[in-house]
Amino acid sequence: MKRNTPFKSLRHDQLLEHSHYIAFHEAGHAAAIYLNNKIRNLAPVSFQIIIKDLQSTSEESILVYQVAQNDNRAKEDHITAFEVDIINLLIGPLAEAKYIADTDDELFSHKLVNLKALKNYGGSSDLDSVDEYLNYFSTCKQQQAKKLDELFAVAVNFINDRTNWAAITKLAHYILNSNKNIINCEDVAYLLEH
């Protein structure tokens, strides 16, 4: 997932708040990639969270957190991996939505944050990727919608699981407090295992 936001026009407090949103969003993706693959006994996936330097004052300066996956999977794992990839894509904006709901002392549920609402939580590119996946799954829009609803429910359940949310929160805080420009999958694995 690539997320680019010009920050020149943001005040310091807005930039800090926006950084938290993005950290939770990307922590959701990364924790989901690591934990979902581990739970489903899928081959390990290589990924990175790339953090572009915020110190630059150039007009081209942007804030970027990126999770990129390397797809090397066995054929028998293809369907499971396909579904897990979609779930992992949905978890990023859901994590951002849950963080915002928690910060605002609001309730978080799949009825309050539906698929369309994910665009409000940095999920536009994630949803575009999900659409691409679903087009490979089936040309039938009804089948696509049914599969997406099923996988969205799994993603919401992942976010609502206390252990998973604790892992996402721990990783988000690491992202925010780390001086690293690149956080690789080994860093994430170590952090979530200890």
What pLDDT, on a 0 to 100 scale, did the predictor assign at position 130?
A: 93
* Domains and their CATH numbers in the chain: 2-193 (1.20.58)
What pLDDT, on a 0 to 100 scale, did the predictor assign at position 61?
A: 27
What pLDDT, on a 0 to 100 scale, did the predictor assign at position 99?
A: 96
The 10s digit of each residue's pLDDT in 37-92 is 888 888 777 888 887 754 444 333 233 334 455 555 555 557 788 899 999 999 99
pLDDT at residue 164 greater than cutoff 90: yes
* CA 149/CA 156 separation, integer angstroms: 11
Q: How many residues are recorded in the chain?
A: 194
Of 182 and 43, more confident: 182
Amino acid identity of residue 68, one-letter, is A
Average pLDDT of the residues in 158-170: 96
β-bridge mates for residue 47, sequence order:
69
- Is 7:61 a contact under the CB 8 Å cutoff? yes
pLDDT at residue 9 greater than cutoff 70: no
CA atoms within 13 A on the CB side of 161: 16
Least confident of 7-11, 120-124, 147-151: 7-11
- Is 29:89 a contact under the CB 8 Å cutoff? yes
DSSP category for residue 1: -
